[in-house]
Amino acid sequence: MEMIRGYPDYMRESIEKVEKTRPQRLKATFKAMTLEEREQILNEYHPDYKPEAKRDLKIGPSKGQRLPHEVADLLEAHPLIDPDDVDLSRVDYDCDILIIGGGGAGTVAALWAHYSGVPVDRMLMTTKLRHGDSNSMMAQGGIQAADRPEDSPPRHYLDAIGGGHFTNKPELVKALTMDAPAIIQWHEELGVMYDKDDKGVMMELSGGGTSRKRMHSARDYTGMEIMRAIRDEARNIEVPVLEFCPAVELLKDDQGRVAGAVLFNMETDQYYVVRAKAVIMATGGFGRLHIQGFATTNHYGATADGLVMAYHVGANLIDLDSVQYHPTGAAYPEQIVGLLVTEKVRGLGAQPVNKNGELFVFPLEPRDVESANFIRECYGRDNGIITPTGMKGVWLDSPMIDDLKGEGTIRKNLAAMVRMFERFGIDMTKDPILVFPTLHYQNGGVEINDKAETSVPGLFAGGEVEGGVHGKNRLMGNSLLDYNVFGRRAGINAAEYVKKVTPGKLSLDHARKYEEALKNAGVETDRKAPMLLPDYRGNHVLSRALDIF
């Protein structure tokens, strides 16, 4: 197989067709779908709409909810620790607020709890990987906030709730959109380098499903730039952080309130008992469950631990039947399959085209609709491009961006993307890149209200672990916003809550009851949860592994 500038020769033939149609496409548009057309294509082609991929949950407060098998498997699993193995009489850490998760939501919660009067030595942040290792770090495209005169929070509200197929909880969408401009201003105070012109006017772009340009970005490292700044701030005020110490089970007190957690040091196998007046769950999403076998854009630790722990203590779940597939995951080369190609590439003007160089969809439909169109093009109409490893994808015609916005725009605004492909010999400023939908985001989660409270007293949640904000589909730029808005609200409201609470006797009875419920529901399994980390060891190793050390 001869390789020419990163692509095998047979793919080059298709690229030539893309180049041929480019001049006329530079002026062309494609009609956006009506609500009816959207519904039809989702039903036919979106992975979420396959009934056989889901089942009804057998136990717990959200019993009967329809969930992907991979999620139901974790909820219908034995708690990872045996309550009898844990000595709750010795408390290792005693604090006001325990924050579980060291990504965006957890860090924002810590900062705002601190601003609200909780001293840092009365909080503890614990995280499975390093502080900052999270999907928050990876978001590239941007963060929405309606701050231009021609835009407004109510308009942002309408876009978000329409994009979510009108299933979002209104109070949460209201909080999301009304808090947004204040979040951006807070970031400015922290020194986040947003893209602005020399007068300070934010350079804002469109995203899928937005009716105004309201995507704020920091080149294509938006998530990283925000995460770096808030983490630096947390380090400056000395928020105590335990790294590589995931929580494995929440603790309740004798009044049924969440009152701490059991942590597990993954490097020494030691457990720690934390007593806390309030717990903020900020563990992120479930991308690493590889729902329906999809590759994912998510970081290594996105294994739904928070969902499992919250469900063990009886928190309601919401909208977990819906999974976000990002339309543009890398489909070639093999080494980066599934990694995110930011929506900003389309925001800047790149069009999705098929193997014949034809534009086949409006480039900025909401993500689920765009994804369904890509899947139809590849599998319904057989217009996809097949990679050497047998995967299918469609072209994203990136070189158009420099044609539209001027030479150098791609390198300046999409440095991370250019770098990712350049490492494998592909120059996206000259050649299109191949994409296919990839598992991106957990739309639903632990249900919260606009105070970031879950249905269980003492348990707050912010970020991807919680649900209700986005309904059945999230718009681009609303996830960075979500973790900021609800991380902040969780921090503020938890700070208020701890003023009037004294934890009672700690207990793991809920884990025992969970075991009973499994038994009563007839679930027979050796699965345990939370899973903590996925296992990618080779089969030749796993098939001969001994668990003796």
Partner 1 sequence: MTEDIKTRMIKVYIMGREYEVPEGLTIMKAMEYAGYRFIRGAGCRAGFCGACGTIFRKKDEYKFRTALACQTPAEDGMYLTELPFVPANKAEYELEELTSEPSIIVSLYPEIARCVSCNTCTKACPQDLQVMDYIQASLRGDINQAAELSFDCLQCGLCAARCPADIVHYHVGQLARRVYGKYVLPRSQHLKERNDEIKAGAFDQEMEKLTAMGLEQLKKLYTERDIEK
Q: How far is CA 398 from CA 139, 220, 372, in A?
A: 19, 14, 21
CA angle 9, 14, 20 (to 5 degrees): 125
Position among 15, 77, 202, 506 found at the interface with partner 1 (CB under 8 A)? 202
Q: Which is nearer to partner 1, 185 or 270 (CB)?
A: 185
Q: What are the tokens at 411?
A: 């390198």
Strands 215-216 and 143-144: antiparallel
Q: Which stretch binds partner 1 (CB under 8 A): 79-87, 117-125, 294-302, 521-529?
A: 294-302
Q: Can you tell me the distance from the alpha carbon of 220 to that of 126, in angstroms, rounded to the nearest whole number?
A: 28
N- to C-terminal Cα separation, the chain: 46
Using rule CB under 8 A, residue 52 touches partner 1? no
Q: Which is nearer to partner 1, 109 or 180 (CB)?
A: 180
Position among 293, 537, 546, 547 found at the interface with partner 1 (CB under 8 A)? 537
Q: Can you tell me the distance from the alpha carbon of 309 to that of 281, in angstroms, rounded to the nearest whole number?
A: 9
Which residues ranging from 166 to 185 are in contact with partner 1 (CB under 8 A)? 166, 170-171, 173-174, 178, 181-182, 184-185
Q: Which is nearer to partner 1, 62 or 126 (CB)?
A: 126
* 346 in active site: yes
Q: Which is nearer to partner 1, 133 or 466 (CB)?
A: 133
Which residues ranging from 266 to 285 are in contact with partner 1 (CB under 8 A)? 266-267
Long-range CB contact pairs, 254-259, < 8 A, 24+ = 254/504, 254/505, 254/507, 255/504, 256/456, 256/457, 257/456, 257/457, 257/458, 257/501, 257/503, 257/504, 258/313, 258/456, 258/457, 258/458, 258/459, 259/458, 259/503, 259/504, 259/506
Which residues ranging from 369 to 398 are in contact with partner 1 (CB under 8 A)? 388-390
Shortest distance in whole angstroms from residue 297 CB to partner 1: 7
Helix ranges restricted to H, 349-389: 367-375
Q: Which is nearer to partner 1, 35 or 522 (CB)?
A: 35
Catalytically annotated residue among 231, 346, 367, 510: 346
Using rule CB under 8 A, residue 190 touches partner 1? yes
Q: Annotate each residue in 325-344 with x if it binds partner 1 (CB under 8 A) or - if it does not, as one string.
A: ---------xxx--xx----
Q: Which stretch binds partner 1 (CB under 8 A): 40-48, 134-142, 344-352, 466-474?
A: 134-142
Catalytically annotated residue among 326, 367, 474, 510: 326
Which residues ranging from 147 to 166 are in contact with partner 1 (CB under 8 A)? 147-150, 152-155, 157-159, 161-162, 166
Q: Which is nearer to partner 1, 34 or 502 (CB)?
A: 34
Q: Can you tell me the distance from the alpha carbon of 538 to that of 382, in angstroms, rounded to the nearest whole number?
A: 33
3-state secondary structure of 133: coil
Using rule CB under 8 A, residue 297 touches partner 1? yes
Size of the site for partner 1 (CB under 8 A): 92
* Residue closest to 357 by CA, chosen among 53, 28, 21: 21
Q: What are the tokens at 148?
A: 């231009």
Shortest distance in whole angstroms from residue 521 CB to partner 1: 32
Q: Which is nearer to partner 1, 7 or 514 (CB)?
A: 7
Q: Can you tell me the distance from the alpha carbon of 549 to that of 542, in angstroms, rounded to the nearest whole number?
A: 15
Q: Where are the beta strands (DSSP E) in 123-256?
A: 123-126, 143-144, 215-216, 241-242, 247-253
Q: How far is CA 258 from CA 95, 280, 371, in A?
A: 13, 10, 39
Q: Which is nearer to partner 1, 56 or 422 (CB)?
A: 422
Using rule CB under 8 A, residue 40 touches partner 1? no
Q: What are the tokens at 352?
A: 């999705």
Which residues ranging from 406 to 425 are in contact with partner 1 (CB under 8 A)? 415-416, 419-420, 423-424
Longest Cα separation, the chain: 73
Position among 130, 381, 499, 505 found at the interface with partner 1 (CB under 8 A)? 130
Shortest distance in whole angstroms from residue 225 CB to partner 1: 8
Shortest distance in whole angstroms from residue 515 CB to partner 1: 27
> Cα dihedral angle (184, 186, 191, 193), rounded to 10 degrees?
0
Which residues ranging from 449 to 488 are in contact with partner 1 (CB under 8 A)? none
Shortest distance in whole angstroms from residue 522 CB to partner 1: 33
Amino acid at 294: F
> Cα dihedral angle (151, 155, 157, 159), rounded to 10 degrees?
-100
* 169 Cβ neighbours under 8 A, 6+ residues apart: 318, 449, 468, 469, 471
Cβ pair 510, 309 in contact under 8 A: no
* 381 in active site: no
Q: Which is nearer to partner 1, 62 or 413 (CB)?
A: 413
Which residues ranging from 208 to 267 are in contact with partner 1 (CB under 8 A)? 211-213, 219, 221, 223-225, 228-229, 232-233, 235-236, 238, 244, 266-267
Q: Which stretch binds partner 1 (CB under 8 A): 45-53, 64-72, 132-140, 344-352?
A: 132-140
3-state secondary structure of 225: helix
Using rule CB under 8 A, residue 499 touches partner 1? no
Residues forming the active site = 326, 346
